């Protein structure tokens, strides 16, 4: 991995992260400032708690940078900046989403106490067909890169500078492997989270209704969350490869994932407003 070539960057980064993290964690403000998916603005408590959690993650990031400086560990762009940034971004989206799911996506107050399934029929067939979407988002970039591998130059970009534009370059075999593994790791991690849920339901003896629960509103939203991140990393994969192959900008390849994340925020915001308009249970 390429080491950071600026000796001042580590202490400056640690100080900036510590200050920003402290403000997000401890500053009490009435300003409507949310962290994560846009729907957090709809709930003051979720907005505050998600902001505090991101502040804690930034403080941990600053601590990690300090540990690297104290131990003399080599500071690479991946270990010092990109990997922690991905983790913080994942927490910024997943933590408020979890709070939202626990508060608003519990069984809808419809009189029956059950969250309806979409579609009402299909079960595991629909679930399996649905899983082909993120799987295709992983496999298609791999096949495209494999078909164009022989035309790639000796070095391929794998990261951005702080000012934008590709900077971190690696030998094409290492670069292609790194980009592919990043996309597959995101896919397997998010799929694994849903797998843990299935195992939990299976252990509790709720085997018969697993397919029905996988098609409820909350799981469709989580599915869109998974697809969004897989598309985003697949776009990074293709963007850097086509930048090396034909000089194209990598940014347009990020648009599908960003659009999917935007759609997720809009759907959740609409869902919050719909549930707020529902009368209280038993009224």
Q: How many CA atoms lie within 13 A of 60 on its CB side?
A: 12
The two structure tokens encoding residue 48:
């505050």
**Which residues make Cβ contacts (< 8 Å) with residue 178, sequence separation at least 6?**
158, 170
For tokens 């930034």, name the residue: 58
Characterize the bridge pairing of strands 155-157 and 169-171: antiparallel
Q: Where are the domains of the chain?
A: 9-104, 124-277
pLDDT above 70 (res 36) = no
Report residue 80's pLDDT band, with 50, 70 and 90 as the boundaries.
Answer: confident
pLDDT exceeds cutoff 80 at 99: no
Q: Is the pLDDT of residue 192 over 90?
A: no
CA 33 to CA 44: how far, in whole Å?
10
* pLDDT at residue 112 in the model: 47
- 2-11, 17-26, 173-182, 237-246: range with lowest mean pLDDT: 2-11
Largest CA distance in the chain: 69
Mean pLDDT of 95-106: 72
Q: Is the pLDDT of residue 234 over 60?
A: yes
> Quick check: 152 and 172 in contact, CB under 8 A?
yes
Strands (E), the chain: 155-157, 169-171
Confidence of residue 283 (pLDDT cuts 50, 70, 90): very low
Helices and strands in the chain, H and E counts? 9, 2
Question: Averaging pLDDT over each range in 94-98, 202-206, 277-281, which range is the top one?
Answer: 94-98
Average pLDDT for 117-137: 83
Inter-CA distances, 197 with 83, 132, 188, 194, Å: 26, 19, 14, 5
The CA distances from residue 7 to 12, 72, 148, 239, in Å, are 9, 12, 38, 30
Residue 102 has pLDDT above 80, yes or no: no
The whole-model pTM stands at 0.59
Reply yes or no on whether the pLDDT at 115 is more than 70: no
DSSP states along 145-176: HHHHGGGS-SEEE--B-TTSSB--EEEHHHHH
Give dist(CA 32, CA 40) in Å, integer.
Answer: 10
Joined together, the tokens standing for residue 192 give 């694994």
How many residues does this entry show for the chain? 283
Confidence of residue 37 (pLDDT cuts 50, 70, 90): low
Rounded percentage of the chain residues whose pLDDT exceeds 70: 79
| The predicted structure's pLDDT at residue 81 | 83
- Tell me what pLDDT residue 20 has: 92
Higher pLDDT, 4 or 260: 260
pLDDT at 190 over 50: yes
pLDDT score of 32: 53
Q: 10-19, 54-63, 142-151, 273-282: which has the minimum mean pLDDT?
A: 273-282
- Residue-wise burial string across 120-131, b where 16 or more C-beta atoms lie within 10 A, e elsewhere: eeeeeebbeebe
Is the pLDDT at 111 greater than 50, yes or no? Answer: no
Of 217, 226, 212, residue with least CA distance to 272? 217
pLDDT by residue (tens digit) across 155-183?
Answer: 888 877 656 555 688 888 888 888 888 88
Q: What pLDDT is recorded for position 231?
A: 92
**pLDDT confidence bin for 4, thresholds 50/70/90:** low
Compute the average pLDDT of residues 211-229: 85
């Amino acid at each position: 991995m390429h080491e950071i070539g600026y000796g001042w960057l580590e202490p400056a980064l640690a100080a900036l992260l510590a200050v920003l993290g402290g403000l997000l964690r401890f500053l009490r403000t009435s300003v409507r400032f949310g962290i994560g998916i846009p729907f957090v603005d709809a709930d003051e408590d979720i907005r505050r708690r998600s902001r505090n959690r991101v502040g804690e993650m930034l403080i941990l990031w600053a601590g990690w940078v300090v540990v690297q400086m104290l131990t003399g560990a080599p500071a690479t762009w991946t270990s010092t900046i990109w990997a922690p940034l991905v983790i913080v971004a994942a927490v910024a989206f997943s933590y408020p989403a979890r709070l939202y799911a626990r508060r608003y996506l519990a069984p809808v107050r419809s009189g029956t106490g059950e969250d309806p399934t979409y579609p009402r029929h299909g079960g595991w067939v629909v679930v399996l067909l649905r899983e082909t979407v993120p799987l295709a988002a992983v496999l298609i970039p791999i096949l495209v890169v494999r078909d164009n591998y022989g035309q790639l130059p000796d070095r391929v970009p794998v990261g951005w500078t702080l000012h934008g534009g590709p900077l971190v370059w690696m030998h094409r075999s290492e670069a292609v492997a790194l980009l592919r593994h990043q996309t597959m790791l995101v896919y397997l991690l998010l799929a694994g989270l849903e797998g843990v849920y299935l195992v939990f339901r299976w252990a509790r003896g709720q085997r018969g209704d697993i397919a029905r629960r996988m098609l409820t509103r909350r799981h469709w939203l989580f599915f869109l969350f998974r697809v969004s991140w897989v598309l985003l990393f697949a776009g990074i994969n293709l963007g850097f490869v086509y930048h090396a192959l034909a000089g194209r900008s990598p940014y347009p390849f990020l648009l599908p994932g960003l659009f999917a994340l935007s759609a997720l925020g809009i759907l959740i915001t609409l869902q919050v407003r719909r549930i707020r308009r529902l009368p209280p249970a038993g009224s």
